[in-house]
């Protein structure tokens, strides 16, 4: 790796001032797991990294509120979500997703903020968080705004964040008994990234769903909601035929990318199968949250 300057501000707000809206060679550093890979490969050559590791400890905490909503600091390591009893109780889909996300050492170091800001469409948590209706609170040198995770991700490794904005925390609303499932399909490509990720979250039962969210990732340029499938699911009896139709609707709605993990027609078939399967598991699996 080439030499660079490293700054370690003590506050998140100070960190935003050390970034530069116009300079892409300056970036914040969370756990560094993604940045290290990019720096080692030479695809990112920083002039300055602003480490967030010394900012206020409250940005590493996980707070569950009385209504079952969560505030999770951007610097919280993924392992702290994995092992949180509150998350296991209220958001078991996150606990389960951690089991298929990378390895123990990466989860010990990678942060939730870095995970959301990285923008790699193959990652596992963004689709899950979108299906749960999560938002991020973002701060700049003299600004603050809250963005749904669904809108944060704008393209392949692209987000809505300005270069001097930082994710301060993740906000997950109460789930009120909704059931959620995340499935990924890995096709034994050399790098092990999935060909498809599907996250669904539904309220209701076999008689009918009052709410449904279907999110597709990995096969697309960014994790995204599939409104066509979600809309079709709300109302009628939630039988296998409906789930099959939702899979079909999702398969024809999303724009897929063919690559080493699979061709477009192959991934289209995966979408059909996995959306249907995820919905069936959400309804029948007894997985409540």
Partner 1 sequence: MSTANKTIHFTLNGRPVTAEVAPHHTLVELLQNQFNLNGARESCAQGLCGCCTVLVDGKSVSGCLYLASFADGTAVDTIEGVADGVALDPVQEAFIEAGAFQCGFCTSGFILMTKQLLDAHPAPDDDQIRHYLAGNLCRCATYPEIIRAVKLAATKRKTVTA
Ligand X SMILES: Cc1cc2nc3c(=O)[nH]c(=O)nc-3n(C[C@H](O)[C@H](O)[C@H](O)COP(=O)(O)OP(=O)(O)OC[C@H]3O[C@@H](n4cnc5c(N)ncnc54)[C@H](O)[C@@H]3O)c2cc1C
Binding flag, residue 106, ligand X (CB under 6 A)? yes
Out of partner 1, ligand X, none, what residue 111 binds, judged by CB under 5 to 8 A for its kind, is ligand X
Q: Identify the residue among 76, 87, 134, 166 touching ligand X (CB under 6 A).
A: 166
Q: Is 147 in the site for ligand X (CB under 6 A)?
A: no
Residue 124: contacted member of partner 1, ligand X, none (CB under 5 to 8 Å, by partner type): ligand X
Q: Is 36 in the site for partner 1 (CB under 8 A)?
A: yes
When CB distances are held under 5 to 8 angstroms depending on the partner's kind, the choice from partner 1, ligand X, none that residue 104 binds is partner 1
Distance between CA atoms of residues 115 and 136, nearest Å: 12
Interface with ligand X, residue 130, by CB under 6 A: no
Q: Does 75 bind partner 1 (CB under 8 A)?
A: no
Angle at 136 between CA 131 and CA 138, to 5 degrees: 160
Q: Report the distance separating Cα 184 and Cα 149, nearest Å.
A: 19
Single out the segment in contact with ligand X by CB under 6 A; choices: 103-111, 127-135, 258-266, 268-276: 103-111
Binding of ligand X at residue 123 (CB under 6 A)?
Answer: yes
Quick note: the x/- pattern for partner 1 over 16-35, rule CB under 8 A, is ----------------xx--
Do residues 63 and 54 make contact, with C-beta atoms less than 8 angstroms apart? no
- Closest-by-Cβ residue to ligand X is 114
Question: 2 contacts which partner out of ligand X, partner 1, none, CB within 5 to 8 A by kind?
Answer: partner 1
Residues 103-132, interacting with partner 1 (CB under 8 A)? 103-106, 108-109
Residue 118: name its binding partner from ligand X, partner 1, none (Cβ under 5 to 8 Å by kind). Answer: ligand X
Contact by Cβ (8 Å): 209, 239: no
C-alpha–C-alpha distance, residues 50 and 47, integer Å: 10
Q: Which does 108 bind (CB under 5 to 8 A by kind): partner 1, ligand X, none?
A: partner 1
Contact 153, 166 (CB under 8 A): no
The two three-digit tokens of residue 205, written as one number? 């039962």
Q: For the chain, what is the radius of gyration of the CA atoms?
A: 19
Q: Using CB under 6 A as the criterion, which residues of the chain lie in contact with ligand X when the complex forms?
A: 27-35, 37, 52, 74, 101-102, 106, 110-111, 113-115, 117-118, 123-125, 161, 166-167
- Give contact residues for partner 1 (rule: CB under 8 A): 1-6, 32-33, 36-37, 39-40, 47-49, 51, 53, 79, 99, 102-106, 108-109
């Amino acid at each position: 790796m080439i030499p660079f300057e490293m700054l370690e501000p003590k506050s998140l707000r100070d960190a935003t001032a050390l970034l530069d809206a116009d300079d892409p060679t300056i970036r914040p550093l969370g756990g560094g797991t993604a940045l290290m890979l990019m720096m080692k490969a030479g695809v990112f050559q920083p002039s300055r990294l602003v480490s967030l590791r010394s900012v206020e400890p409250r940005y590493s905490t996980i707070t569950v509120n009385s209504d079952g909503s969560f505030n999770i600091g951007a610097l919280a390591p993924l392992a702290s979500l994995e092992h949180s009893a509150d998350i296991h109780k209220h958001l078991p889909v996150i606990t389960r997703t951690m089991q298929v996300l990378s390895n123990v050492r990466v989860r010990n170091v990678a942060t939730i903020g870095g995970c959301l800001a990285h923008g790699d469409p193959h990652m596992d948590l963004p689709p899950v968080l979108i299906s749960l209706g999560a938002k991020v609170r973002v701060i700049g040198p003299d600004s603050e705004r809250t963005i749904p995770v669904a809108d944060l991700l704008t393209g392949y490794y692209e987000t809505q964040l300005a270069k001097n904005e930082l994710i301060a925390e993740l906000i997950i609303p109460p789930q009120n008994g909704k059931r959620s499932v995340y499935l990924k399909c890995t096709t034994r490509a050399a790098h092990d990234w999935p060909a498809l990720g599907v996250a669904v979250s539904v309220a209701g039962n076999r008689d009918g769903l009052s709410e449904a969210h279907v999110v597709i990732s990995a096969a697309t340029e960014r994790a995204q909601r599939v409104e066509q499938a979600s809309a079709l699911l709300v109302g009628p009896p939630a039988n296998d035929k409906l789930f099959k139709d939702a899979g079909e609707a999702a398969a024809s709605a999303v724009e897929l990318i063919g690559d080493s993990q699979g061709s477009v027609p192959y991934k289209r078939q995966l979408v059909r199968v996995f959306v249907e399967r995820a919905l069936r598991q959400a309804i029948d699996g007894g997985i409540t949250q």
